[in-house]
Amino acid sequence: MERSFFERAHDVVRQVPRGRVATYGQVARLMGAPRCARQVGFAMHASPGVAGGMPCHRVVFADGSLAPGFAFGGPGEQRRMLESEGVAFLPDGRVDLARCAWEAGR
DNA sequence: CTTATGACTATGA
DNA sequence: TTCATAGCCATAA
């Protein structure tokens, strides 16, 4: 079975532990496509959702910003969900990558 | 084959 | 610091 780019992205995002966040570029690199951060984002959009085993809310921009136009029920909903998992936020409204950035194999 | 789109990232002003 | 633009590459038509 050939795994589409989507499925590979899903596979990597699924490995992100609770209370941790990963950047699109990081996910792309782990799946063997360091230049395909945008395609990862598109895969998230096309993902089955959190209920489908895809914690796409744990995937953020390289600077810790959350995805614009989010659709889990509202942008504030994603932040609430991440905080509920133990992710720290900065006063600017960005994720504290210095504390919650996910490292592969950990 | 080419063109258009996009939940990104890096760079410059 | 923030904002705008260019480059990147997979997928669809």
Residue A86, domain CATH: 1.10.10.10
* Residues having Cβ less than 7 A from any atom in strand C: A 4-6, 33, 35-36, 38-39, 92
Asked if the structure places residue A105 within a domain, the reply is no
Q: Tokens 């990558």: give the residue.
A: A97
Nearest one of A44, A42, A91 to A72, comparing CA atoms? A44
- Catalytic one of A36, A56, A87, A100: A56
Averages of pLDDT over runs of 10 residues in chain A (106 residues) are 90 96 97 96 90 92 87 79 95 94 92
Q: What is the pTM of this model?
A: 0.94
Question: Looking at strand B, which nucleotides approach a protein CB closer than 7 A?
Answer: 6-10
Q: For strand A59-60 and strand A22-23, is the pairing parallel, antiparallel, or unpaired?
A: parallel
For residues A54 and A48, what is the distance between their CA atoms, to the nearest angstrom?
7
> Residue A43: which nucleotide is closest by CA–C1'?
B7
Domain that holds residue A62: 5-100
| pLDDT on residue A49 | 86
Q: In this predicted structure, what is the pLDDT of residue A16?
A: 96
Number of domains comprising chain A: 1
Rounded Cα distance, A85 and A17, in Å: 10
Cα separation, A61 vs A67, whole angstroms: 7
* Residue A79 near residue A58, CB atoms below 8 Å: no
